[in-house]
Amino acid sequence: MQKKLQRVLDGVEYKKDVKMPDIEINKISYDSRRVEPGCLFVAVKGFSVDGHGFLDEVEKKGAAAAIVEVKNDKIKIPQIVVKNSRRELARVASNFYLPELVDIRTVGITGTNGKTTTSYLVRSILQAGGFKCGLIGTIAYEIGNKVKKAWNTTPESADLFEMMAEMKTAGQNSCVIEVSSHALDLNRIDGLKLETAIFTNLSRDHLDFHHNFESYFQAKKKIFNHLSDSGFAVINLGDEYGKKIFSEFKGNCITYGLNQNADVFVINSNSSLEGIKAQISTPSGNLNIKSSLLGAFNIENILASVAACFAMNIDSQAIIKGIENLNSVPGRLEAINFSGGKTVVVDYSHTPDALEKALKVLRELTKKNLWVVFGCGGDRDRTKRPIMGKIASDYADFPVVTSDNPRFEDPEFIIKEIISGIDQQEKIYVQPDRKKAIQYALENSSAGDVILVAGKGHEDYQEIKGKKFPFDDRKVVKELAK
């Protein structure tokens, strides 16, 4: 793929003090390590690395031009000076990749919890409806027959649009994207037009980045700025912030929720360790669905997927079949086979709201005692630690507090902050070694007990002092089961 530089710069706000050369661009990159001859390099000021420090390197690698915020007089390649290179990265990537991709039916999903499960459900329904669907989200990027391990929930704009171009080449005609609040604040989907945008819910998370809850909320709302002219907003009326968005939204909209005020709602449902059965009302009639997903809160995720696919005019039978076809989502209330009449469930719940929902669900399904093994991540929002400690002690019979991804923090300090929120300190067990903590819960639980291993879900590493060590809760449970 090649584009004229001037075409790639369409709409970019840059200093027009130099004449733009008549050259072709064959790639957009913000990473100096991935620069190739003919590439347009965008020097982005990151949180730890500044791309401006690599301009001499990208020149040597054959970059055709560079977009910069500060000009470097020592290099000879054309430099386009802008105010905000990260924002312009999305613009040039959109100009380069997206004109050929407008016919890909794209669904964006945002919210604190439920994004991943909803994305898997929507993709499964689209596939049941005959679409070839790509997926970009927290767990992986699935492009054609390739699966790439995700490095961000929503990758940078240049990576995102390049992946969508690969999907088109691979014959895929639809795409489901998890859209994080970081991505919305950092312009990663600027230029992308969504056919459907889903808002799941909002609760405490990422305040280390957004600083306050209102800023976090405003970031999430930005997803609806990316709807196409005929696109639909899909909003959860069962969420307080969903109601606020709905009251302000002026475009096409379909709502979902657990009560009859919504366009798509549950008439009746039953949840067990075998899954969910529910009758759902839609504007075109009732649907009887069966799902292998665990937990009553997954009903909201199912409702979101039904509402989104209804807005996209997907056949009702494809919706039913797609929901039934999805057996599980990696690390999302994922049951792991374990002997002795015990049930072990691994879940990504790393926020207060997600942990509370997971424990509430399992409390209802537990015959005897409910255990939870959990910790909190280091170098992240510290205020949620005592809150999660209290939630664990309120709902679980036996809370086991351990390490999550401590990063550069002392695990024992993180644990101390967690247990500061627990009144009944005598009921908790503390073991900083995560594997030993899981082993303790497995060895000391009994038949009829349920053990929730929370916080890491699909992750296959533990991050300590800047290094990622292999660690997968699911594999650890299976190893200990032998």
Specify the CATH number for the domain of residue 32. Answer: 3.40.1390.10
Instruction: Choose the final residue of a domain: 269, 294, 325.
Output: 325
Asked whether residue 210 carries a pLDDT value surpassing 60, the answer given is no
The runs of H, that is alpha helices, within 45-180 are 55-60, 85-97, 115-128, 157-169
Asked whether residue 207 carries a pLDDT value surpassing 60, the answer given is no
Q: How far apart are CA 219 and CA 239, in angstroms?
A: 17
Neighbours of 364 (CB within 10 A): 12
Residue 134's SS3 state is strand
> Is residue 152 domain-shared with residue 270, that is, in the same domain?
yes
> Is residue 202 domain-shared with residue 148, that is, in the same domain?
yes
Asked whether residue 293 carries a pLDDT value surpassing 60, the answer given is yes
> Is residue 339 domain-shared with residue 247, that is, in the same domain?
no
Instruction: Choose the final residue of a domain: 263, 298, 325.
Output: 325
Query: Which pLDDT does position 427 carry in this prediction?
Result: 87
Angle of the 298-311 helix axis to the 115-128 helix axis, nearest 10? 50
> Quick check: 297 and 354 in contact, CB under 8 A?
no
Angle of the 411-419 helix axis to the 384-395 helix axis, nearest 10? 60
Asked whether residue 19 carries a pLDDT value surpassing 90, the answer given is no
- 153-166, pLDDT tens digit by residue? 999 999 999 999 99
Average pLDDT over residues 127-155: 95
Tokens (6 digits) for 443: 């060895």
Average pLDDT over residues 58-68: 96
Domain that holds residue 11: 3-97
Residue for token pair 């509430």:
360
Asked whether residue 319 carries a pLDDT value surpassing 60, the answer given is yes
- How many structural domains compose the chain? 3
Average pLDDT over residues 319-326: 98
Residue for token pair 């976090």:
216
> Is residue 167 domain-shared with residue 311, that is, in the same domain?
yes
> Is residue 109 domain-shared with residue 195, that is, in the same domain?
yes
The secondary element (H helix, E strand) that includes residue 219 is: helix 213-221
> Quick check: 452 and 371 in contact, CB under 8 A?
yes
Name the pairing type of β-strands 275-282 and 264-272: antiparallel
Average pLDDT over residues 334-356: 90
Residue 390's SS3 state is helix
Instruction: Choose the final residue of a domain: 325, 343, 378.
Output: 325
Of 210-214, 253-257, 435-439, give the lowest mean pLDDT range.
Answer: 210-214
> Quick check: 349 and 355 in contact, CB under 8 A?
yes
> Is residue 109 domain-shared with residue 240, that is, in the same domain?
yes
Residue for token pair 């379909």:
254
Burial of residue 414 (CB within 10 Å: 0-12, 13-18, 19+) is: buried
Q: What is the band of 20 on the pLDDT scale with cuts at 50, 70, 90?
A: confident
> Quick check: 241 and 353 in contact, CB under 8 A?
no
Q: How far apart are CA 253 and CA 324, in angstroms?
A: 26
Q: What is the band of 5 on the pLDDT scale with cuts at 50, 70, 90?
A: very high
Share of the chain above pLDDT 70, in %: 98
Asked whether residue 312 carries a pLDDT value surpassing 90, the answer given is yes
* Chain centre to alpha carbon of residue 408: 23
Share of the chain above pLDDT 90, in %: 83
Residue for token pair 């599980």:
328
